[in-house]
Amino acid sequence: MIPVTKPFLPTQDEYQAYLNGIWSRNWLTNNGPLVNELELKLKEYLGVNHLLYLGNGTIAIQIAIKALELRGEIITTPFSYVATTSSIVWEGCSPVFVDIDENTFNIDPKKIELAITANTSAILATHCFGNPCDIAAIDEIARKHSLKVIFDGAHSFGTSYENKSVFEYGDITTTSFHATKLFHTIEGGAVFTTKPDILKKMAFMRNFGHDGPEKFNGIGINGKNSEFHAAMGLVNLRYMDEIFAVRKRQFLYYDKILKNLRVRKQKLNKDIVYNYAYYPIVFESEELALSSLRELEINGIGVRRYFYPSLSSLDYTDGHTPVSDSISSRILCIPIYHTLSQEEQDMIARLLLRTQNN
């Protein structure tokens, strides 16, 4: 079986060395030394000034919405993982969908202003598959209409935009460190901001609002993460340069062996350094996408319809998003992970080409 993705794992000895320290200290959670060390090393590796390590990427979005005190309508993308939208609804706001650009798969800035009303408080945009949005255009619209901006950077670890980490943009950027991500801590996530006052506010929020053992600063939630998760992150961070190099090599090899496959690929934005996190392909029709999916699965190869269905079709949402609807019905993400071999990539390519030519 070739899965669509497989978590990177370091050697057991490397991880065990951190576990030995946890056992000796008997400090398992609540802002432990490994959590603090991971935050420092992530800031250094990513070249960012501020971040908070959290329990997961979903709580990161929820805390971002709370910290910015958003109300009413939040303009967002219908082409993302469900957590982007469900977090908006969970926090008592209303998602307003703006369709995506058919080439980049990101929210289309040209359509955002048409969706702004007196009740709009923010724009929440996803850097889909790690491909940065048109950040400059979104920021310009937000300034013009006095809106806040949250970027969902769940796929974007290691991506830069205009020579700066993509996490440095917007009022807040969130990310996920889930096991399926390029960099993972088994479960985990983070919030990033360039604004120290917002950072301080979110720091209280992630720990129930505690400002010392007997004092509280606002309303908080349990957004913390543990020493065990931080330990995995500290070990995995050592391998990130190697992981990026392997992923780029696999991505470019797919480009080579699938050059005769009649599919469209995501158009990457300019002025970026990309992380090659996913390999999405868009077929000419949903029928072709589904026949390819069946052929791969019959041969023990996992694929996913990332992202299907379009989020505007969910029971608790509404929106007219024909481009997202079309792309989501025709897209497949094919396997790409650290230990995937060229021979396995060759087999995947042969099956895709054979299905198309039948």
DSSP letter for 268, please: P
Q: Is 61 exposed, middle or buried (0-12, 13-18, 19+ CB in 10 A)?
A: buried
Domain 12-237 matches domain 240-357 at the CATH topology level: no
5 within 8 A of 180, measured Cβ to Cβ: yes
225 within 8 A of 188, measured Cβ to Cβ: yes
Summary mean pLDDT of the chain: 97
At residue 192, the pLDDT reads 98
Describe the strand order of the beta sheet including 94-97 as a list of residue ranges: 51-54, 189-192, 172-176, 148-152, 120-126, 73-76, 94-97
Share of the chain above pLDDT 90, in %: 95
- pLDDT at residue 351 greater than cutoff 90: yes
- pLDDT at residue 317 greater than cutoff 90: no
Cα–chain center distance at 321: 21
At residue 213, the pLDDT reads 84
Per-residue pLDDT averaged across 133-138, rounded? 97
Name the CATH superfamily for 240-357.
Answer: Aspartate Aminotransferase, domain 1 (3.90.1150.10)
At residue 231, the pLDDT reads 98
Per-residue pLDDT averaged across 67-74, rounded? 98
Nearest Cα neighbor of 329 from 274, 277, 303, 290 is 290
Per-residue pLDDT averaged across 323-346, rounded? 98
Per-residue pLDDT averaged across 168-176, rounded? 98
Per-domain boundaries in the chain:
12-237, 240-357
Per-residue pLDDT averaged across 210-214, rounded? 86
- pLDDT at residue 316 greater than cutoff 90: no
Give 254's strand partners: none
Per-residue pLDDT averaged across 81-102, rounded? 97
Nearest Cα neighbor of 60 from 126, 145, 116, 139 is 126
Per-residue pLDDT averaged across 170-186, rounded? 98
pLDDT tens track for 252-267: 999 999 999 999 999 9
Per-residue pLDDT band for 215 (boundaries 50, 70, 90) equals confident
Of 93-102, 234-243, 308-317, where does mean pLDDT reach its minimum?
A: 308-317
Q: What single letter denotes the amino acid at residue 297?
A: E
At residue 16, the pLDDT reads 98
- H or E element, residue 347: helix 342-357
At residue 349, the pLDDT reads 98
Fold of 12-237: Aspartate Aminotransferase; domain 2 (3.40.640)
The torsion defined by the Cα of 213, 217, 218 and 223, in degrees rounded to 10, comes to: -60
At residue 212, the pLDDT reads 84
- pLDDT at residue 315 greater than cutoff 90: no
